[in-house]
Amino acid sequence: MNAPTRVPNNLEAFWMPYTANRQFKSNPRMFVAAKDMHYTTSDGRQVLDGTAGLWCCNAGHSRPKIVEAIQSQVAELDYAPAFQMGHPKAFELASRLVQLTPQGMDHVFFTNSGSEAVDTALKTALAYHRVRGEGSRFRLIGRERGYHGVGFGGISVGGIVANRKMFGTMLTGVDHIRHTHDLSRNAFSREQPEFGAEYAEDLERVIQLHDASTIAAVIVEPVAGSTGVLIPPKGYLERIRAICDKYGILLIFDEVITGFGRLGTPFAADYFGVTPDLMTVAKGITSGVIPMGAVFVKKEIYDAFMQGPEHLIEFFHGYTYSANPVACAAALGTLDTYHEEGLLTRAADLAAYWADAVHSFKGLPHVIDTRNLGLIGAIELESIAGQPTKRAFTAFLNAYEKGLLIRTTGDIIALSPPLIVSKAQIDELAGILTDVLKTLD
């Protein structure tokens, strides 16, 4: 056990995100180091990372090539402006990334997070129709229970109530299709559920309500992550793609969670064989080490902007830190690590073993569903009457004390370990979580 590390005396100044601040500050949970599959706590304990940090540390922690790339880059070129200037690693990274994307998605716009990537994709879709002379296409269609970050664009097309209810009217011209979660027919499904492809037809309903001529884009997560791991039914994404094609509507995949090997393919678009028009990524692009995001677009979208006098800016959008040199170096080091260790496809080799582990929780107290795909899993718990979220949060606290980091959303436990996880570590994760679930009230 490592030596304990002193915890700061004053925790008040930091308003923590997505955290029960008062509960945390009464009994802090502090990480002070990380390596490979484990965090080290301030009291010297090792905690197995069952969530890849926050769905992001796909290559594990403190990986040598990523660390070395960052250290070298910050000493050579710490910052370069992205407006009207460039630096070599931005172009190298873009070229390497589009070699991994589905065919035809050969341009990339860099952002600094998944939230920024989503807002960028939405703005790109709106502007694309405008430059093509279809400015009447101003509507954006999201999905109930969807999570697309915390910008005003993202929460507008998103469909998680708690993320929306305090922030007024948000963007206008937004509508939502229904979610696909159906415990009555699909509980305890392994991989894609059999039932529910017909839920895609709800998009037809929304199109008939507003008319296709007003709709710019539809945005969905191929696998909805932060809402509790909702796996798309067989045929669902294919039908969404077909409906968008029928009406000339752009399809955006939010792959902030599913991108970079989470399903055993580089992207969920590869896994499902459905190619969107735009695709947002973040998290795994740098294995969570430095903030970075990106939007991939099809060639015809990029080309639509490349008109008019060459000295004029084609798209009035961007960020001070777009393609930050240190972030680009981190991403290149991450891609090297993925390539050398086969991590973009490793989840495919572990998928069956992982599925057995996730479904081993069936029959334990209060478990009403288990579901999995690639190296993602979820355990849905029956809520305590009048106290929603409490049962899963108790599981989170107990797991931490037993040496396992899990993620909870509502009364759902979400699991997404780093792609370097071993079968023995999957067994360890399942063993700890079994003990936790057996003792829940």
Look at residue 199 in the predicted model and tell me its pLDDT.
Answer: 98
User: Are 397 and 305 in a shared domain?
Assistant: no
197 and 249 in a single domain? The answer is: yes
Amino acid letter, residue 277:
D
Same domain, 126 and 225: yes
Q: pLDDT by residue (tens digit) across 47-73?
A: 999 999 999 999 999 999 999 999 999
Same domain? For 290 and 399 the reply is no
Distances (CA, A) of 433 to 40, 320, 339, 413: 19, 43, 31, 10
**Domain range spanning residue 251?**
67-341
Domain assignment present for 4: no
Whether the pLDDT of residue 352 is over 60: the answer is yes
Q: Are residues 160 and 247 in the same domain?
A: yes
* 319 and 426 both lie in a single domain: no
Query: Per-residue pLDDT averaged across 273-281, rounded?
Result: 98
Does this model's pTM top 0.85? My answer is: yes
10: in domain:
no
Q: What is the pLDDT of residue 60?
A: 98
Query: Which band of pLDDT confidence, cut at 50, 70 and 90, is reported for residue 9?
Result: confident
pLDDT beyond 60 at 1: no
Last residue of a domain, one of 310, 341, 372: 341
Over residues 369-396, the mean pLDDT reads 98
In whole angstroms, give the CA distance from residue 258 to residue 83.
Answer: 30
Strands 250-254 and 278-281: parallel
Give the pLDDT band of residue 6 (cuts 50, 70, 90): confident
The answer to whether 419 touches 343, Cβ cutoff 8 Å, is yes
Shared domain check, 307 and 179: yes
Classify residue 215: in a domain, yes or no: yes
Burial 78-90, CB ≥16 within 10 A → b, else e: eeeebeeeebebb
The answer to whether position 16 is within a domain reads: no
Same domain flag for 375 and 230: no
